[in-house]
Amino acid sequence: RCLNRTNIYTAQANAKTQFREMLKAMGFKNVKIEFEK
C-alpha cells in the first residue's frame, strides 16, 4: 500500500487505540500516546 498522509494518520489512530487498551488492561489508569514526526 501507499504511505500517504491519510494512511499514516489511520495507522497512528489504530495504534493509539490498541496501545491504550493494552496498557489499561495491564492496570495503567492514565495513558498518553504520542508519535514523533
Q: How many helices (H) and strands (E) does the chain have?
A: 1, 0
Mean pLDDT value across residues 11-27: 96
- Domain layout of the chain by residue ranges: 1-37
- Confidence category of residue 1, pLDDT binned at 50, 70, 90: low
pLDDT of residue 21: 95
Mean pLDDT over each residue of the chain, to the nearest integer: 92
Cell numbers that stand for 13 in this block: 489512530
In the predicted structure, residue 5 carries a pLDDT above the cut 80: yes
pLDDT of residue 37: 76
Best CA proximity match to 19, nearest among 35, 7, 6: 35
Give the span between the Cα atoms of 16 and 18, in whole angstroms. 6
Indicate the pTM of the whole model.
0.74
C-alpha triplet 13, 18, 22: angle, nearest 5°? 150
DSSP single-letter state for residue 36: -
In the predicted structure, residue 3 carries a pLDDT above the cut 90: no
